[in-house]
Amino acid sequence: MQVNQLIKKIVFLDRVGLPERFSVRAPELDHQWDNYGSTLPEQVIERSVGADVLITNKVKITRETLLACPSVKHIAVAATGFNIIDIDACLELGVSVSNIPSYAATTVAEHVIASALCLRRQLLSYRQSVIDGKWQRSSSFCLFGEPINDLKNSSFAVIGFGELGRAAASMAAALGMRVIFSSRGKHQCEFAKQVSFEEAITTADIISVHCSLNAETLNLIAAPQLRKMQPHAILINTARGGIVNEADVVQAINDKLIGGISFDVLVEEPPSDYSPLLSIANFENVIITPHSAWASEQAMQRLADILADNVEAFLLGSPQNLVS
């Protein structure tokens, strides 16, 4: 296919979001590629002027940026979630947007199952008991502490049934869990049953959040929902910070309303020292990880490859993985 022979300018606004050992293949046509490790909000317009393609992971692209940079015709999001992009402005101004689907299903699902195993089996508590010398002082060959529960035959609820939610549900079913899911759309699934959101959060032993963050899902799970959960329920969030109200979940843990949490995403990333969830990060029924569920070596290489494909496909006139 013949393409415009003019040199295309590609600007990666936050290359720091992908380790340097993972190279992003350059398109096989004349281009200028500018990498910036990170970009502050006040630097976005200056760095985007004259660009044909912007690549962003977490840098927000606003209507103001697009109006100030009319050369921008495509935004390649280096992630699955695209809530950082003003989609309405893109539609109005004729800017296409691509994302990276399908790359993180295995790594995120494995993180969810690992979290469920860790918390159901009280691994943090029992590990700490050895560090504290409790086992060494035990009168028996073993140490009985917090109750240990199997995953098999427990109830596993998925909130949002896109590719990541379905992958987590599939792994849970393979381990013998009874899987239910809540989703706005209707889905047929041979290993999981669709139920209402209310039933999902009130009946499940383990609740895993996989929906997108938008106006409808902001604070989807807050104090009223937390109070309805089973007192031993484990809440896992690998989706986006803000879907679960952080202050309310801290209160729920302190009040022992639920059994434990595993959060890989926070509202503020990286968090400040005053982030609500950090106040309970050392609890034995709490796991806070630094937005790393997606970051297996295999998944990051897939992301880099798909990102390169998305940029090249747009420049060749056949854009793919479009969300706008």
Instruction: Name the 3-class secondary structure at 73.
Output: coil
User: Who's near 154: CB < 8 A, 6+ residues apart?
Assistant: 120, 177, 178, 205, 206
For residues 59 and 37, give the distance between their C-alpha atoms in angstroms, rounded to a whole number: 11
Show the tokens assigned to 27: 């398109």
For residue 138, count other CB atoms closer than 10 A to its CB. 12
Q: Which of 310, 312, 317, 308 has the alpha carbon at shortest distance from 3?
A: 317
Helix 297-315 × helix 105-120 angle, to 10°: 150
Q: How crowded is residue 50: how many other Cβ atoms within 10 Å of its Cβ? A: 12
- CB–CB of 238/291 below 8 Å? no
Distances (CA, A) of 199 to 157, 171, 210, 229: 9, 21, 16, 10
Rg of the chain over all Cα atoms, to the nearest angstrom: 22
Q: Is the peptide bond before 270 cis (omega within 30 degrees of 0)?
A: yes
Active site residues: 240, 269, 291
Tokens of residue 12, six digits: 């990666």
